[in-house]
Structure 1
Amino acid sequence: MIQKIQKHLLIGGPGTGKSTTLNYLSSLGYCCFPEIAREITLAAKEKGVDQLYLTDPLAFSKALLEGRIKQFHDANLINENVVYIDRGIPDVSAYLNYSNQNYPAEFSQANKKYIYNKVFYFPMWEEIFISDNERYENLDEAKEIDFHLQKTYTDLGYDLISVPKVSIQERADFILKHQD
């Protein structure tokens, strides 16, 4: 009997601790797929485009959508019960909504076609928020993105599981307790 792999997302605004928590889960031996936006941003920088999302949001978002769909399919090939993924397909639409960008119907169609089993939401946490070379948003922009992420996922019918603002280990424990 083929067991369906559970795909659990970690979502939230920039700088809320998703990637750090995902890296911790990975260090414990859990199967984790990292955020791919940084890879796309760094690849564009190598081609001379400092911030592809700011220069051409739709081109960036199409590359991101393709990468996230590939992650979704790759997760089906993993020999594990659960795969943890840093950001999902609907994040692409949420960011485009945040920036008031029109986008092709394929984005909305992908949101409905590729369904995740659980969505762990990391709320904004000002005390840990920092900007870096790939994260261009300030705190106010991050809060606005957070709003669009919550709205996009809840509009799609997802029940967001709010991850408490505690240590990385406690956040990982919380997620693991809710994986069934």
Structure 2
Amino acid sequence: MNTKRILIIGGPGTGKSTLITELEQQGHTCFHEISREVTAAAQKQGIEQLFLTQPLLFSELLLKGRIQQFEDAKQLNVAYTFYDRGIPDVAAYMDYTGDEYPDMFREACENHRYDVTFILAPWKEIYAQDNERYESFEQAETIQKYLITAYENYNYSLINVPFGSVSERIEFILNTLKNL
């Protein structure tokens, strides 16, 4: 079976992880966001925000993890595989910080393509900062612009998911996939 890779992207706090968790509870195969794991591991080593102090190392770890998720999905025999963020997110965040990054980042974006990309817009009513999400809502809006630019630069068509309850958003995603 040729698994369709379904990507859910958006700035911080847009509800991506909540949707991925619900999709998984409904029996769909999902790959979770790994930046929280990378951040938590760094904090255990005494580095409060690895993304801020060593953005290239943080991004390399994310890139490696997302490529691994991409490769792991090749072994699956399911109709859809959902991802909470994709490989181009790494380049978008590096662009956001203005940091230089090696060509391997661009090559990874070009060599690992997702089939369908849904984007969630910043939503002030659900936005919350926490130990791993340090960005303000205004920063989340700026990051959103960098994500859109990055994905468009890699020739992705973005499907906007409307605001709504978790079940309404999932219904939109699944209905859209049925009609593609």
Give the TM interval when normalised to the shorter protein: over 0.9
Kindly provide the amino acid, as one letter, of the partner of residue 44 in structure 1. A
Q: CA deviation at 1:63?
A: 0.3
After TM superposition, the structure 1 = structure 2 runs for residues 86-165 of structure 1, keeping only pairs within 5 Å, are: 86-165=84-163
Q: CA deviation at 1:124?
A: 1.1
- What TM-score results when the alignment is normalised by the length of structure 1? 0.97
* Structure 1 unaligned blocks of 5 or more: none
Distance 2:5 2:32 in 1: 13
Distance 1:20 1:160 in 2: 19
Distance 1:103 1:121 in 2: 24
- What TM-score results when the alignment is normalised by the length of structure 2? 0.97
Structure 1 residues 63-113: Cα deviation after superposition (integer angstroms, max 9, x where no partner): 000000000001111121100000000000000000000000000111100
Distance 1:165 1:16 in 2: 10
Q: Check whether the contact 2:7–2:83 (CA below 8 A) recurs between aligned residues.
A: yes
Partner of 1:54: 52
Kindly provide the amino acid, as one letter, of the partner of residue 69 in structure 1. I
Q: How many residue pairs align between the two structures?
A: 178
Task: Name the SS for the 2:41 alignment partner.
Answer: helix
Q: Check whether the contact 2:2–2:77 (CA below 8 A) recurs between aligned residues.
A: no
Distance 1:15 1:45 in 2: 21
Q: CA deviation at 1:140?
A: 1.0
Identical columns (%) = 46
Distance 1:11 1:79 in 2: 23
